[in-house]
Amino acid sequence: MSDAAQPTAAEVRAAAEAVKAALDRHLAAVERRSGEDDPAVYEAFNELAAAAEEYDELLYDRYDEVTPFEIPGGEDSLPPYTGPEEPNALSVLIRRDYAVVEPQRLLAQAGRVADLDGDADIDTETATGAGNSVHAALGVLFGEFEPDEIGSRHKEFGLEEGDSTLWVVAADEPPEAGEWLDAPFDQADPQRVVCRFDVSAVFDDELDEDPNDIDIDTDADVEVDVDVDPEGDIEIDDALEDADR
């Protein structure tokens, strides 16, 4: 980087002052916390992370020096919140991934459900193929059981949990009934995310690197609608539900 493009010492100093102010705001938000998932704490956390990242970049550009701070999320962190301060509505966006690791167990479970509820709310053609088609079996199981129940019993269905995430997205007004059904995931605006919660084996791996860390189960009870690949692929992706609350 040329000298002309480098930040000035004053800019680096200003960034450092911004970090100090963000630290104070974060501590104040934590002290006033109204509950475990207080949006004010998450907002202050994101502001602190952004300020620390800005300072780290300017410090490196100007002095070729780094800070000891590790910013969670890095390049994948959410952009600054631009939604309403007091949302009149919200949407909950959820994704939970699974891998089908025991297809025969999945087929057997779906076959039992189809046999027991053959004349209930299961499509006859789907039920007929439940015993020999992974695609049909998934349709039967997710049509019969609540997503949370599948999440808690996933091993019984031959599934293995992958990553999951939950976003709470602010809205100005509740949408009209049926308004977003044709494109339910198009309204996932990262700049309107009030808070988010992620569960991933990546976090477990990071904890395992330090023997002094405590392995904490962060699995959450969430509702999710799984979008099944019509080709019946073993890996199930894009299980994201936009459920207007």
Q: What percent of the chain has pLDDT over 90?
A: 31
Q: pTM for this one?
A: 0.50
pLDDT band with cut points at 50, 70 and 90 for residue 236: very low
pLDDT band with cut points at 50, 70 and 90 for residue 197: confident
- Please, what's the b/e burial string for 185-202 (b: 16 or more CB within 10 A of its CB; e: otherwise)? eebebeebbbbbebbeee
Q: What is the pLDDT of residue 209?
A: 53
Interacting residues of 14 by C-beta distance below 8 A, sequence separation 6+: none
Q: What is the pLDDT of residue 77?
A: 58
Give the residue carrying structure tokens 């509740």: 174
Q: What is the pLDDT of residue 32?
A: 92
Q: What is the pLDDT of residue 70?
A: 67
pLDDT by residue (tens digit) across 117-146? 654 444 444 445 555 789 989 999 999 999
pLDDT band with cut points at 50, 70 and 90 for residue 86: confident
Q: What is the pLDDT of residue 6?
A: 85
pLDDT at 12 over 50: yes
Q: What is the pLDDT of residue 117?
A: 63
